[in-house]
Amino acid sequence: MADIPPVLRLPLLLLGFLSLILGVGAGLARLGWTVPQPAVEIAAFHGPLMVCGFFGTVISLERAVALGRAWTYLGPLAAGAGGLCIIFGMPLFLAQALLILGGAILFTGSVLVFLRQRALFTFTMAAGAACWLLGNGLWLTGVSVYAASVWWLGFLVLTIAGERLELSRFLPPSPVARRVFIGLLAGLLVGMALDARLLGLALLALALWLLRQDIARRTVKDKGLTRFIAVCLLTGYAWLGLGGAIMLGAGLAPGTPAHDAALHALMLGFVFSMVLGHAPIIFPAVLRVTTPYHPIFYGPLLLLHLSIMLRLAGDAIGDMDWRSVGGMLNAVALLIFILNMIAAVIRGKLQQRTR
């Protein structure tokens, strides 16, 4: 079957952003902020909404666009529908089953890509999809969200690492560097399965590998959008290294300040730095719109970094007020990011009309 038109992709993207908005609200409720009642009622599902409802939908949609086959859009549809089930309080097993379906479709598509192009980066992205599917399956069997979140983290880290490895063809890593990456990949998988400290070590080493090998080291010297993307990448790698270092030193015991610090350094600092950097590329590819660069793009990125610093400082000194304020500023940064992307799309349309 052929690809679907961009206008039909927009509802899928909106499903993902609905999970993002409600997931952020759920996170604020967990920090003690007064939020609308629907967000309070799903506070326990902050993580699943953010990783599965939002990222699962968006990454599946991006992969479906790349594959150009109609059946692959069932992946983001299932993931988005799973997020909706959580938001509207439907039976949890239904949400979990839909997320498993979304993960299975993403994994199937990723394997097909690997079979079509047998390369290290396609294998890495397929491994990331497998982590998401496994985490969803474990959650359905009764494993806690805390335990499943390790595999969800692997899903995001491996997906991003695979995408960056794909782009490294412009600055190919040496054979030794490729073997090191393979060793890091093995360390990540073993760490997710067996030991949080080993996972932390692998994450820290991966951050150093990416900082050394990524072409962003050179493109950060350029101007405009190219430099902005490079800044997002390099600062994201710094958060990846810090999150791994925290995990290496303190483990990942649920409910501890180290757990909060490590996960949010990784999920917010690393992953959302990648989102802010790639959004001006992903939006045009998925929706066939233009998002012209503007220096204001740096605004939400700077606020995101400052807010995470404040949150982690609160974790370090045991000050819940700092942690809560940092969490609120995290949410504000993401809101500004969304508004900024909407404004960029509008600017792009206005520029097209004036040509």
Residue 248 in this model has a pLDDT that exceeds 80: yes
Averaged confidence pLDDT in the chain: 93
What is the pTM assigned to this prediction? Answer: 0.94
Nearest to 328 by CA among 348, 350, 308: 308
Stronger pLDDT, 348 or 301, i.e. the higher one? 301
Tell me what percent of the residues of the chain surpass a pLDDT of 70: 98
DSSP of 143-156: --HHHHHHHHHHHH
SS3 67: helix
Asked if 185 and 148 touch (Cβ cutoff 8 Å), the reply is no
Do 334 and 275 touch, CB atoms closer than 8 A? no
Look at the block and give the residue holding tokens 């490590």: 262
Chain centroid, CA 318 distance in Å:
27
Residue 289: predicted pLDDT: 84
Measured on CA atoms in the order 111, 116, 120, 125, is the torsion positive or negative? Answer: negative
Looking at residue 170, what is its pLDDT? 56
Buried b (16+ CB within 10 A) or exposed e, 264-278: bbbbbbbbbbbbbbb
> Which amino acid is residue 319, in one-letter code?
D
| pLDDT tens digits, 27-42 | 999 999 999 998 999 9
pLDDT tens digits, one per residue of 201-214: 999 999 999 999 88
The answer to whether 161 and 202 are in contact (CB under 8 A) is: no
What number is the average pLDDT over the span 40-55? 96
pLDDT per position as a tens digit, 131-180:
999 999 999 999 999 999 999 999 999 999 999 888 766 567 788 989 99
